[in-house]
Amino acid sequence: MRKILFLFSVVFVLTLLLSSCKKNISGCTDSDALNYNANAVIDNGTCLYNHSDIVFGCTDPKADNYDPNATTDDGTCIAVREKFEGEWVISGDCNEFIFTLADTSEINFDSEVPDTVHIANFSTVGGEVDGIVNGYDITIFEQTIWLTTFSGSGSMDTSKTQITINYIYDAGLLGSGSCTAVYTKVN
């Protein structure tokens, strides 16, 4: 009898533990609603019952084209970093001898690393630089190419055709300073 009671207790405890692992997914829990989510365990008040209530659009608040009125995502969301992608012509007041930027640069992104962009052909000696984007802002965390350590921050204009980045650099015995680079979109 003790073994049966012990076995029942173990099964009961395991059942409790396993059932508590269920994720707290929120969504519409009413199976009569048009947007019923069978995986939802918490009703978040978003149930829709009339087709006229459904507004298709981008529902990701981090996306460039977020639509606060959209009730159903239609797959058209544009990631913030996509506007940075392309070929850029570089101008500015950076020191030609210490912190020499390339004349043109390609900006692209890795689809597996959110909010990160890569600036290829960064300087006249080459190199690729990583940056983090947030809306229209870009941050270049401290990195080193050859003997120069640098970082920067800036933003893109609302027409999405220019990025202005203020760099701070240190090349050791060669010198240090700051400069502004303007990236103008080619395509």
Convert the pLDDT of each residue in 27-57 to its tens digit.
Answer: 899 998 888 989 999 998 888 888 777 889 9
Domain total for the chain? 1
User: Which structure tokens are listed for 24?
Assistant: 């707290």
| Domain of 170, in residue numbers | 85-185
Q: For 175, list phi and psi in degrees, rounded to 5.
A: 130, 175
Is residue 22 assigned to a domain? no
Print the SS3 string covering 62-88: CCCCECCCCCEECCCCCCHHHHHCEEE
Is residue 50 assigned to a domain? no
- Nearest of 85, 52, 88, 89 to residue 71 by alpha carbon: 52
pLDDT of residue 12: 54
Which of helix, strand or coil describes residue 9?
helix
- Nearest of 58, 61, 30, 23 to residue 44 by alpha carbon: 30
Contact 183, 162 (CB under 8 A): yes
Convert the pLDDT of each residue in 93-147 to its tens digit.
Answer: 987 778 888 889 999 987 788 788 989 878 877 788 999 998 889 999 999 988 8
Percentage of the chain with pLDDT > 90? 33
pLDDT of residue 68: 92
Q: Which residues pair with 134 in a beta bridge?
A: 137
pLDDT over threshold 70, residue 7 = no
pLDDT-derived band at 183, boundaries 50, 70, 90:
very high
Contact 152, 168 (CB under 8 A): yes
Is this prediction's pTM over 0.85? no
pLDDT over threshold 60, residue 80 = yes
In angstroms, the CA 170 to CA 126 distance is 17
Q: Which of 1-15, 47-61, 80-94, 153-167 is the least confident region? A: 1-15
pLDDT of residue 110: 76
Contacts of 103 (CB under 8 A, 6+ apart): 89, 90
> Residue 149 is part of a domain; what is its CATH number?
2.40.128
Helix (H) or strand (E) holding 145: strand 137-145
Is residue 149 assigned to a domain? yes
Is residue 29 assigned to a domain? no
Is residue 151 assigned to a domain? yes
DSSP secondary-structure letter at 100?
Answer: P
Is residue 171 assigned to a domain? yes
User: Which structure tokens are listed for 139?
Assistant: 């941050």
pLDDT over threshold 60, residue 5 = no
In angstroms, the CA 105 to CA 21 distance is 48
